[in-house]
Amino acid sequence: MKSSVDGTSMSIGEAAAHFGLATHVLRHWESMGLLAPVRIAGDRRRYTTGDLYRIAIILRAKDGGFGLDEIHAMLTAPGPAERRAVLHRQRAELVRRITEAQASLDLIDCALNCEHDELATCPNFRAEIAARARLAVPGDLAAAGMPPRLADGMPPRPAVSDSQNGPGGPSV
Question: Residue 5: how many CB atoms within 10 A of its CB?
Answer: 13
- Calculate the average pLDDT of the chain: 80
**Which pLDDT does position 6 carry in this prediction?**
55
Higher-pLDDT residue of 133 and 87 is: 87
Name the 3-class secondary structure at 165: coil
Q: How confident is the model at residue 136 (pLDDT cuts 50, 70, 90)?
A: confident
> What average pLDDT score do residues 61-73 get?
93
Strand partners, 10: 47
pLDDT single digits (tens) 154-168: 444 444 444 444 444
> What average pLDDT score do residues 146-151 get?
47
Percent of the chain predicted with pLDDT > 90: 50
> What average pLDDT score do residues 45-68 get?
95
**Which pLDDT does position 114 carry in this prediction?**
85
pLDDT single digits (tens) 1-47: 444 455 578 999 999 999 999 999 999 999 999 999 999 888 899 99
Q: How confident is the model at residue 140 (pLDDT cuts 50, 70, 90)?
A: low
User: CA-to-CA distance for 64 and 54, rounded, in angstroms?
Assistant: 15
**Which pLDDT does position 138 carry in this prediction?**
61
User: CA-to-CA distance for 164 and 128, rounded, in angstroms?
Assistant: 37
pLDDT at 139 over 70: no
User: CA-to-CA distance for 68 and 62, rounded, in angstroms?
Assistant: 8
> What average pLDDT score do residues 68-91 get?
94
